[in-house]
């Protein structure tokens, strides 16, 4: 034990003596780990945020398709589904996008029948102030702070949007979405079904989606299949499918980023190997002296291992900690555009990173372990310097 502690102590002193070289390696390694962990944490936080938000989504969404594109669906289609046992409720929704030319921004417009919060499965994102439009109320909307800023409303409450025939539809903001849910409400304008129909010039008795709520969550897939059979030519999407799509999108982006960062990591490991494999005359002399003074080959390998482990472990912990701070305090500012896209109305929500031992182990295995392996060969080469080389 005393021998191990002595060698460990010697390794730490040795790191301190070659400060510049080791600090450089540490800084590059920390940067790679930081980028890698940030990517992992942002990806995971976003997937979890999407999962959480989708708990408020309808169980099944029905859309009418024509020539492979979505078209309006008649409200009366609800009647055809009345016979399917297990359906708790069907609601109408208009979901569209409005391009604001003056700001170059795209807004999401949702029109629904109020009230919105009549059941647990039909919860809408909370409001930080104001109220939702009441049934039959016209020209009243709820927006996010982001939209207010884009529309440059300031203290005003009234604004107007253009209908397809370029006539103006006037609106008054009566509520503001809670900032915690910016990930979905950043570009959202919520209004009544009648206002949305008017804005997009959708004929009466037509909507873009029918939202189906199912009494028993285990029955969702079965009911979705039955709806598909009843409504040929329609698209039936379950909540799970939406979640899968989110996961695929985030995982794909995460995977792409990971590949780029792994390439950087591989380059670093090669660099580390290259640097460590070239034994300087000074290093050869040191090893020769240590060996002639009674250090075993194993002692030298252990010494080098301690040096590499200290640098890589410190870099790993620092990189992970910095990545964590990057997410918590700076909302993953470096990688948000990669994951969220470059839309004009970008959500400004806060990310909450979650600790995952699998992710931590993955990063450890892809960073510290290759580094240790890369430095093992040079360590062995150093250790096999002959003791008589210094005579």
Partner 1 sequence: MFIDLQAVTKIYNQGQPNEVIALKTVSLAVAKGEMVCVQGPSGSGKTTLLSIIGCIFSPTSGRAAIGGKKISRLPDHFLTRYRRELIGFVFQNYNMIDHLTVLENITLPLLALGVSPSIRERKADHLLEKFGISHRKKFKVNQLSGGELQRAAIARALINDPPIIVADEPTAHLDGKLSLEVMDMLAALKEEGRTVVVASHDPIVSRHHGMAGIIEVRDGVILLNKPVG
Cβ pair 242, 348 in contact under 8 A: no
Number of H helices, E strands in the chain: 12, 13
Query: Cα 214–216–221 angle (5° rounding)?
Result: 70
For partner 1, which stretch binds (CB under 8 A), given 7-15, 130-138, 207-215, 242-250?
Answer: 7-15
* Residue recorded with tokens 């359906």: 87
Q: Is residue 358 part of the contact set for partner 1 (CB under 8 A)?
A: no
Give 390's contacts (C-beta < 8 A, 6+ positions apart). 285, 288, 289, 292
Query: What is the C-alpha to C-alpha distance for residues 66 and 189, in angstroms, rounded to an integer?
Result: 27
Q: Report the residue from 239, 291, 304, 336 that binds partner 1 according to the rule CB under 8 A.
A: 291
Query: Cα 254–255–256 angle (5° rounding)?
Result: 90
Rounded to a whole number of angstroms, the minimum distance from the CB of residue 382 to partner 1 is 14
Q: Which CB atom, from 10 or from 206, has the smaller least distance to partner 1?
A: 10
Rounded to a whole number of angstroms, the minimum distance from the CB of residue 13 to partner 1 is 8
Residues 42-101 that bind partner 1 (CB under 8 A): none
Q: Is residue 21 part of the contact set for partner 1 (CB under 8 A)?
A: no
Q: Is residue 292 part of the contact set for partner 1 (CB under 8 A)?
A: yes
Q: Is residue 388 part of the contact set for partner 1 (CB under 8 A)?
A: yes
Residues 293-312 that bind partner 1 (CB under 8 A): 293-297, 299
Q: Is residue 279 part of the contact set for partner 1 (CB under 8 A)?
A: no
Q: Which CB atom, from 108 or from 310, has the smaller least distance to partner 1?
A: 310
Q: Is residue 20 part of the contact set for partner 1 (CB under 8 A)?
A: no
Q: Is the dihedral of CA 81, 84, 90, 94 positive or negative?
A: negative
3-state secondary structure of 132: coil
Query: What is the C-alpha to C-alpha distance for residues 58 and 124, in angstroms, rounded to an integer?
Result: 11
Q: Report the residue from 74, 127, 249, 390 that binds partner 1 according to the rule CB under 8 A.
A: 390
Query: What is the C-alpha to C-alpha distance for residues 185 and 107, in angstroms, rounded to an integer?
Result: 10
Sites of contact with partner 1 (CB under 8 A): 1-7, 9-10, 13, 17, 282, 285-286, 288-297, 299, 387-388, 390-391
């Amino acid at each position: 034990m005393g021998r191990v502690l002595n060698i460990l102590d010697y390794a730490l002193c040795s790191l301190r003596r070659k400060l510049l070289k080791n600090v450089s390696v540490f800084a590059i390694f920390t940067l790679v780990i930081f980028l890698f962990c940030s990517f992992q944490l942002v990806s995971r936080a976003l997937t979890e945020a999407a999962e959480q938000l989708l708990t408020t989504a309808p169980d099944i969404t029905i859309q009418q398709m024509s020539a492979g594109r979505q078209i309006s669906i008649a409200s009366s289609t609800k009647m055809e589904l009345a016979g399917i046992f297990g359906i708790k409720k069907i609601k109408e929704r208009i979901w569209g996008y409005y391009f604001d030319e003056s700001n170059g921004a795209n807004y999401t417009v949702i029109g629904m029948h109020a009230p919105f919060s009549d059941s647990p499965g039909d919860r809408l994102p909370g409001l930080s102030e104001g109220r939702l439009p009441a049934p039959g109320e016209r020209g009243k909307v709820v927006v996010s702070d982001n939209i207010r800023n884009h529309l440059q409303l300031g203290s005003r409450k009234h604004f107007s949007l253009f209908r397809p025939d370029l006539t103006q539809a006037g609106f008054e903001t009566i509520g503001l979405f809670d900032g915690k849910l910016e990930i979905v409400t950043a570009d959202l304008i919520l209004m009544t079904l009648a206002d949305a129909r008017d804005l997009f010039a959708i004929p009466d008795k037509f909507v873009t989606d029918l939202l189906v709520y199912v009494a028993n969550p285990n029955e969702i897939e079965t009911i979705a299949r039955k709806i598909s059979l009843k409504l040929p030519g329609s698209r039936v999407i379950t909540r799970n499918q939406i979640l899968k799509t989110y996961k695929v999108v985030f995982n794909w982006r995460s995977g792409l980023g990971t590949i780029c960062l792994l390439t950087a990591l591989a380059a670093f490991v090669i660099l580390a190997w290259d640097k460590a494999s070239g034994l300087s005359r000074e290093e050869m002399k040191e090893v020769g002296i240590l060996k002639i003074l009674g250090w075993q080959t194993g002692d030298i390998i252990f010494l080098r291992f301690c040096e590499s482990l200290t640098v890589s472990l410190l870099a790993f912990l620092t990189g992970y900690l910095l990545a964590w701070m990057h997410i918590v305090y700076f909302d993953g500012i470096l990688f948000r555009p990669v994951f969220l896209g470059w839309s004009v109305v970008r959500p400004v929500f806060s990310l909450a990173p979650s600790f995952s031992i699998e992710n931590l182990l993955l990063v450890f295995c892809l960073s510290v372990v290759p580094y240790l392996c890369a430095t093992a060969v040079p360590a062995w080469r150093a250790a096999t310097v002959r003791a008589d080389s210094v005579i």
